[in-house]
Structure 1
Amino acid sequence: MVLKIAIQKSGRLNEDSMKLLKECGIDIANGVNKLKAEANNFPLEVYFLRDDDIPQYVEDGVADIGFVGENVVYEKNKKVQVVEQLGFGKCRLSIAVARNEEYNDVNFLHGKRIATSYPVIVKKFMQERGVEAEIHEISGSVEIAPGIGLAHAICDLVSSGSTLFMNGLKEVETILRSQAVLIKSIGFTEEKQRLLDKLLFRIKAVKKAKNNKYVLLNAPDDKLDEIIRLLPGMKSPSVLPLAQSGWSSVHSVLNENDFWDIIEKLKEAGAQGILVVPIEKMIV
Structure 2
Amino acid sequence: MAKSAKMIKKQPATPSSFSDVVRLAIPNKGRIAAPIMDLVEKSGLHLAENGERRLIARTLDPHVEILFARPVDIPEYVATGAADLGITGHDMVVEREADVEELLDLQFGKAKLVLAVHEDSEITSVKQLAGLKVATEFPVITRNYFKKHKVNVEVVIVGGACEATPHLGIADAIIDLSSSGTTLKTNRLRVIDEVLVTSTHLIGNRASLVAKKGKIDEIHLALESVIRARGQCYLMMNVKRASLDTVKRVLPGLSGPTVMDVASSEDLVAVHAVVNEERVYTLINSLRRAGAKDILVMAIQRMIR
Q: Do they superpose with TM above 0.5?
A: yes
Q: Secondary structure at the match of 1:66?
A: strand
Match in the other structure for 1:10: 29
Aligned ranges 1:55-204 → 2 under 5 Å: 55-101=75-121, 104-188=124-208, 190-204=210-224
The separation in 2 between residues aligned to 1:94 and 1:220, in whole angstroms, is: 56
CA distance in 2, matches of 1:178, 1:150: 26
| Counterpart for residue 42 of structure 2 | 23
State the Cα distance separating 1:165 from its structure 2 match. 2.8
Deviations 1:64-115 (A, max 9, x none): 1111111110000011111111223222212221122356444443443211
The answer to whether the 8 A contact 1:69-1:89 is kept is yes
Higher-Rg member (1/2): 2
Q: Is the 8 A contact 2:101 2:205 kept in 1?
A: yes
Q: TM-score, normalised by structure 2?
A: 0.78
Distance across 2 between alignment mates of 1:182 and 1:174? 24
1:235 counterpart residue number: 255
1:282 equivalent to 2:300? Answer no
Question: What is the alpha-carbon distance in structure 2 between the residues aligned to residue 24 and residue 79 of structure 1?
Answer: 26
Decide whether aligned partners of structure 1 residues 189 and 168 sit closer, same or farther in structure 2, where only a CA change above 3 A counts. Answer: closer
The percent identity for this pair of structures is 32
Task: Provide the aligned C-alpha RMSD in A.
Answer: 3.2
Q: Is the 8 A contact 1:230 1:262 kept in 2?
A: no
* Paired letter, 1:98: H
- Find the aligned partners of 2:32 and 2:258 in 1 and give their Cα distance: 38
d(CA) in 2 for partners of 1:230, 1:23: 31
| Code of the aligned partner of 1:122 | T
Structure 2: gaps spanning 5 or more residues: 1-19
How many residues of Structure 1 are paired with residues of Structure 2 in the alignment?
283
Corresponding residue number in structure 1 for 2:63: 43
The answer to which of 267-276 and 229-238 deviates more is 267-276
Q: Please tell me the residue identity of whatever aligns with 2:43.
A: C
Cα distance in 1, alignment partners of residues 235 and 192 from structure 2:
41
Distance in structure 2 (CA, Å) of the matches to 1:111 and 1:17? 40
Deviations 1:142-188 (A, max 9, x none): 11110111111111112233332332223343222222111111222
Q: Which runs of 5+ in 1 are unaligned?
A: none
Question: Aligned with 1:252: secondary structure?
Answer: strand
Distance 1:181 1:196 in 2: 15
**Partner secondary structure for residue 10 of structure 1:** coil
Deviation per residue, 1:242-262 (Å, 9 max, x gap): 8796986542112468x4799
Quick check: 223-232 or 68-77, which moved more? 223-232
Contact 1:35 1:47 in 2 (8 A): yes
Tell me the CA shift for residue 241 of structure 1.
6.8
Compare 68-77 and 35-44 and name the one that shifted more. Answer: 35-44
- The answer (yes or no) to whether the contact 1:86–1:207 under 8 Å persists in 2 is yes
- Deviation per CA, 1:8-28, whole angstroms, max 9, x where unpaired? 122333322222121111221
